[in-house]
Amino acid sequence: MAENFSVEEIKSLETKDLLKDMWDSLEAAGGIGLAAPQIGISKQLAVIKLSEESERYPDMEDSEAFIIFNPKITVMDDTEQGFWEGCLSVPGLRGFVERPRSIRVDFLDENAEPKSIEIEDFLATVFQHELDHLIGKLYIDRMKDISTLMFEDEMIFEEVEEELLD
To the query of whether residue 130 is one of the catalytic residues in this protein, the response is yes
**Which among 79, 164, 77, 94 is positioned nearest to 129, based on CA atoms?**
94
**Which among 158, 94, 93, 85 is positioned nearest to 126, based on CA atoms?**
85
Catalytic residue from among 3, 27, 55, 130: 130
E-strand stretches of the chain = 33-35, 45-48, 66-87, 90-108, 114-120, 150-151
Return phi, psi of residue 54, to 5°. Answer: -65, 130
Catalytic residues: 130
